Amino acid sequence: MAITAAQVKELRERTWVWMMECKNALTMTDWDMEKAMEELRKKGLSKAAKKADRETSEWFIKIECEDNKCYVLSLTCETDFLAISEWFQKLLSRLMDMLKSGKTIEEMEQTKNESVLELGENMTIKEAKVIEWNKIESYVHSNGKLAAVIVSRKSDTDSEKLRQVAMHVTATNPDFLATSDISVESVEKEKTIQMEIMKNDPKMVGKPDQVLENILVWKLNKFKDDISLLEQAFVINPDLKVKNFIWEDTLEAFYRFSI
């Protein structure tokens, strides 16, 4: 099976590594994209752990919170001309009203399909979700392409603080709430990658085993902190961790939305 130019291009866009290195990594891993990304990381070439959100204008995310519920709706279309139009916003509002009134996704799809026939441009409902908890807040980025919902265990949590944490989530895209949520398998996988990186680093040659072990422990702790919301440096005040801004026993869950 030959590697296609499209595969090499995708790996290049996900890692920002040279095309030839991307091709070699795909060859070594039997065209497995995720394994190829790991291989590039082991060589110290790739800094991209996951694909970044791409900036387009072909969707919009809408969130409305009432009492202890947040209604999340996202709709995609083919052109930015439609996405920024008043007509598109009116359709979003109409679909949101349907979601809030308890209409099924099938009923919402029917309404959307009628609009597709009217305009001749395809649209897709990507998200139609209701999140319910004692205390809940949301944030939608000004471009309508990124959003987050934050759930608190405490009904008296400051709403503005929750909204700021939601803003933080849109900016940093954490994978987990706390380091304790990270699986052993994920940590072991990262350990293997970091050991390979250190092995290929000329600066590590000749260092005592205990020094290498300490460096590895530091790298793994940093890895866990970087992907855990509570341990991340708060974007509004990097001198604080999120858990120090809002207390680590406050948050129950978070949701991040992008298309």
In this predicted structure, what is the pLDDT of residue 19? 75
Contact at 8 Å (CB) between 61 and 95?
A: no
pLDDT tens for 6-56 read: 888 788 767 767 778 888 888 888 888 888 888 887 776 654 434 333 333
Alpha-carbon distances, residue 132 vs 65, 71, 253 (angstroms): 10, 9, 11
In this predicted structure, what is the pLDDT of residue 46? 59
| 23 & 57 share domain | no
| 62 found inside a domain | yes
| 14 & 85 share domain | no
By CB atoms closer than 10 A (0-12, 13-18, 19+), residue 118 is exposed
Domains held by the chain: number: 2
> What predicted TM-score, i.e. pTM, was given to this entire model?
0.72
Dihedrals φ, ψ of 129, to 5°?
-130, 140
pLDDT tens for 98-128 read: 999 999 999 999 898 888 767 767 788 999 9
Looking up residue 118, the CATH number of its domain turns out to be 3.30.479.20
**What is the average pLDDT across 168-178?**
96
| 63 & 123 share domain | yes
pLDDT tens for 198-248 read: 888 888 888 888 988 999 999 999 999 999 999 999 999 999 999 999 988
| 141 found inside a domain | no
List all residues 6 or more positions away from 139 whose beta carbon is below 8 Å from its beta carbon: 147, 148, 163, 164, 166, 167, 169, 170
| 179 found inside a domain | no
In this predicted structure, what is the pLDDT of residue 113? 84
In this predicted structure, what is the pLDDT of residue 188? 94
| 224 found inside a domain | no
Report which DSSP code applies to 229. Answer: G
| 34 & 67 share domain | no
| 37 & 77 share domain | no
Final residue belonging to a domain, choices 98, 117, 132: 132
pLDDT tens for 47-85 read: 443 433 333 346 789 999 988 999 999 998 887 777 778
Two structure tokens written together for 156: 């008296």
Its domain, for residue 17, covers: 5-42
Looking up residue 17, the CATH number of its domain turns out to be 1.10.8.10
